[in-house]
């Protein structure tokens, strides 16, 4: 397939986290009994009027600003007409030519789904518009049920430029987009709850040619992994057809996850089939510069900025910073730990290698973690100032994880303070030497590895509390 290059653009729908729906006061809540979160507005009864949700609009502007978009001063809602049971009004209130956000970009870096390193790159964001979500159809054998709880939930559509060139880049773009939405509390982006849904547009062109090929749209992708697989599959399928001289037509295809292949759904409709026109029941929405700047002032730090700060101010490696910022809650936890920890880099190590592992083993999220950031910082400080050894710290950590007790208290109660008294350590060293004469001979014969054996013996005798550098120093001076 060396002779083709993929051109990929993504259309990502993100449900906005709000109290109520987009145009009525029904709760925006997932997982309730079907058709219990409904009212005449979201059921499309005749004669009702929509009232826009201010918070949903504000969060859309936040999303746009987080993605470096321009926020036009004048936007409006439009009707997108179509006939399908998921939309009782037979039109969806959406935005057509004047969306809330235009001309943005999302930075990708790090690695793709396959773990391959990616070159840093900005992916253009054409627009973000706000619309209402539609009802969910539940297919039950020969009949179908319609659940209107989802109808009217605020939904952003983020449309990218056709800037991605591989499945890995698409994966990285989605990861970055999701992180931004979560960091800014715009959406939890839980794909299992349908809070983030992605359509892929993909075409191939011979390497070196500028003109794009015919695009195919793939729908029903319910995980980032499925997006990656679908792109890989579609690249092969299209290359095979193009090699055969087939002229492709614009199609919408579905993704069958079990078979690992796409299938034809329909030949694509044109935009004018939707008969877009301005929504007469809603006023245009206008923003002053001052209003936009007020939102900009309250923007949270972007994940990419936070990564840079952790590397710069706390001495984390790029890799550590990447792991820590992957989840906003973990990043916040580290931020608080680093505030009190004398050695933030060591705190990061403990979060990555101990805390996150324990949490995932126990199936617990970091928000439910019994160890507070201040407690973890205290533990790290106990190591840093030599009160306990790194090894003892693991024991203390395990007890903290069980009981939520303060590390200093555990150390005190269990008598775990590191022994740094030279004469006390000397006693252990003498005991160890006296009890292991054959090993002393081995050491004298030049086997230096035996030193580690003695360190182990002394640690055992001191129940792990002897200060390791002092143990080594004393052992050497005695044995030599
Ligand atoms: P439509 O009018 O069919 O909705 P758009 O031009 O609005 O098409 O583009 C929809 C999505 O498809 C965008 O994300 C865009 O980047 C992407 N796209 C457009 N042309 C191509 C192409 N030739 N190959 C791959 N993706 C494309
Ligand atoms: Zn309603
Ligand atoms: Mg379009």
Residue 469's pLDDT is what?
85
Q: Which ligand is nearest to the CA of 272?
A: 1
* Same domain (yes/no): 313, 436: no
pLDDT beyond 80 at 370: yes
* Same domain (yes/no): 29, 158: yes
Whole-number Å distance, alpha carbon 278 to ligand 1 midpoint, is 23
* Same domain (yes/no): 191, 74: yes
Q: What is the CATH number of the domain that holds 430?
A: 1.10.10.410
Whole-number Å distance, alpha carbon 23 to ligand 1 midpoint, is 29
* Same domain (yes/no): 202, 324: no
Looking at the DSSP assignment, which residues form a beta bridge with residue 13?
A: 157, 197
> For residues 78 and 96, what is the distance between their CA atoms, to the nearest angstrom?
6
Q: How far is CA 35 from CA 13, 16, 32, 135, 147, in A?
A: 22, 20, 8, 10, 5
Residue 298 lies inside a defined structural domain of this protein: no
* Same domain (yes/no): 264, 345: no
Residue 324 backbone zone (phi > 0: left; psi -120 to 50: alpha; other: beta): alpha
Q: Which ligand is nearest to the CA of 268?
A: 1
Q: Among 270, 291, 312, which residue terminates a domain?
A: 291
Whole-number Å distance, alpha carbon 15 to ligand 1 midpoint, is 21
Ligand 1 atom at minimum distance from 213 CA = 23
Q: Among 262, 291, 320, which residue terminates a domain?
A: 291
Residue 43 lies inside a defined structural domain of this protein: yes
Overall domain count for the chain: 3
Residue 122 lies inside a defined structural domain of this protein: yes
Query: What pLDDT, in 10s, does the model give residues 438-473?
Result: 999 999 888 888 999 999 999 888 888 888 888 899
What token pair was written down for 99? Answer: 């969306």
- Mutation pick for ligand 1 pocket among 106, 128, 162 (CB with most ligand atoms within 8 Å): 162
* Same domain (yes/no): 257, 310: no
* Same domain (yes/no): 260, 373: no
Residue 42 lies inside a defined structural domain of this protein: yes
Phi, psi for 278 (deg, rounded to 5):
-60, 135
Map 51-111 to HEC letters.
Answer: CCCHHHHHHHHHHHHHCCCECCCEECCEEEECCCCCCCCCEEEECCCCCCEEEEEEEECCE
* Same domain (yes/no): 112, 189: yes
Structure confidence at residue 291 as a pLDDT band (50, 70, 90): very high
* Same domain (yes/no): 273, 212: yes
Query: What pLDDT, in 10s, does the model give residues 353-365?
Result: 999 999 999 888 8
- Minimal-distance CA residue to ligand 1 atom 4: 271
Query: What pLDDT, in 10s, does the model give residues 98-155?
Result: 999 999 999 998 888 988 889 999 999 999 999 999 999 998 889 999 999 999 999 9
* Same domain (yes/no): 90, 176: yes
Residue 178's pLDDT is what?
95
Q: Which ligand is nearest to the CA of 158?
A: 1
Residue 343 lies inside a defined structural domain of this protein: yes
Residue 270's pLDDT is what?
63
- Minimal-distance CA residue to ligand 1 atom 11: 9
Q: Which whole number is the average pLDDT over 380-386? A: 91
- Minimal-distance CA residue to ligand 1 atom 22: 215
Residue with the larger pLDDT of the pair 7 and 363: 7
- Minimal-distance CA residue to ligand 1 atom 2: 271
Q: Which whole number is the average pLDDT over 284-288? A: 97
Residue 111's pLDDT is what?
83
Q: Among 359, 389, 414, which residue terminates a domain?
A: 414
Range of the domain at 332: 303-414
Lining ligand 1 with CB less than 6 A are 7-11, 159-162, 201-203, 212-213, 215, 271
Residue 201 lies inside a defined structural domain of this protein: yes
Asked whether the beta carbons of 51 and 281 are under 8 A apart, the reply is no
Whole-number Å distance, alpha carbon 231 to ligand 1 midpoint, is 15
Total length of the chain = 480
Distance of CA 467 to the CA centre of its chain: 41
Residue 472 lies inside a defined structural domain of this protein: yes
* Same domain (yes/no): 231, 189: yes
* Same domain (yes/no): 280, 375: no
Residue 297 lies inside a defined structural domain of this protein: no
What global pTM score does this model have? 0.83
User: How does the average pLDDT of the chain come out, rounded?
Assistant: 93
Strands 101-108 and 121-132: antiparallel
């Amino acid at each position: 397939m060396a002779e083709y290059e993929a051109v990929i653009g993504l259309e990502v729908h993100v449900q906005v986290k709000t109290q109520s729906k987009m145009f009525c006061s029904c709760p925006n809540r997932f997982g309730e009994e079907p058709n219990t979160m409904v009212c005449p507005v979201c059921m499309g009864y005749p004669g009702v009027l929509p009232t826009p949700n201010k918070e949903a609009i504000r969060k859309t502007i936040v999303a746009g600003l987080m993605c470096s978009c321009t926020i036009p001063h004048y936007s409006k809602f439009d009707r997108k007409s179509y006939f399908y049971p998921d939309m009782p009004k037979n039109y969806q209130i959406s935005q057509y030519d004047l969306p809330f956000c235009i001309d943005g970009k999302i930075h990708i870096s790090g690695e793709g789904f396959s773990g391959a390193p990616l070159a840093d790159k900005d992916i253009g964001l054409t627009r973000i518009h706000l619309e209402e979500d539609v009802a969910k159809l539940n297919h039950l054998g020969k009949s179908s049920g319609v659940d209107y709880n989802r109808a009217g939930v605020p939904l952003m559509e983020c449309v990218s430029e056709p800037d991605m060139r591989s499945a890995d880049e698409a994966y990285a773009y989605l990861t970055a987009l999701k992180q931004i939405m979560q960091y800014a509390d715009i959406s939890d982006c839980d794909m299992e709850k349908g809070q983030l849904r992605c359509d892929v547009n993909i075409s191939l062109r011979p390497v070196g040619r500028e003109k794009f090929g015919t695009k195919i749209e793939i729908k029903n992708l319910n995980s980032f992994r499925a997006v990656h697989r679908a792109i890989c599959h579609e690249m092969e399928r299209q290359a095979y057809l193009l090699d055969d001289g087939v002229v492709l037509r614009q199609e919408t295809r579905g993704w069958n996850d079990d078979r690992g292949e796409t299938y034809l759904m329909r030949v694509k409709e044109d935009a004018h089939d939707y008969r877009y026109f301005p929504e007469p029941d809603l006023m245009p929405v206008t923003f002053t510069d001052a209003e936009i700047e007020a939102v900009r002032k309250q923007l949270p730090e972007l994940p990419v900025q936070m990564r840079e700060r952790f590397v710069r101010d706390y001495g984390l490696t790029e890799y550590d910073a990447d792991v820590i910022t992957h989840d906003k809650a973990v990043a916040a936890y580290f931020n608080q730990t680093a505030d009190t920890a004398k050695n933030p880099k060591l705190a990061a190590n403990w979060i990555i290698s101990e805390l996150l592992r324990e949490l995932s083993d126990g199936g617990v999220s970091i928000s439910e973690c019994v160890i507070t950031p201040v407690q973890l910082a205290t533990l790290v400080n106990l190591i840093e100032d030599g009160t306990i050894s790194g090894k003892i710290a693991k024991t203390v950590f395990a007890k903290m994880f069980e009981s939520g007790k303060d590390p200093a208290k555990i150390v005190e109660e269990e008598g775990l303070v590191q022994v740094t008294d030279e004469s006390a350590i000397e006693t252990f060293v003498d005991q160890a030497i006296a009890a292991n004469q054959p090993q002393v001979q081995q050491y004298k014969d030049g086997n230096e590895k035996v030193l580690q054996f003695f360190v182990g013996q002394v640690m055992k005798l001191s129940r792990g509390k002897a200060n390791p550098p002092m143990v080594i120093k004393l052992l050497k001076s005695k044995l030599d």
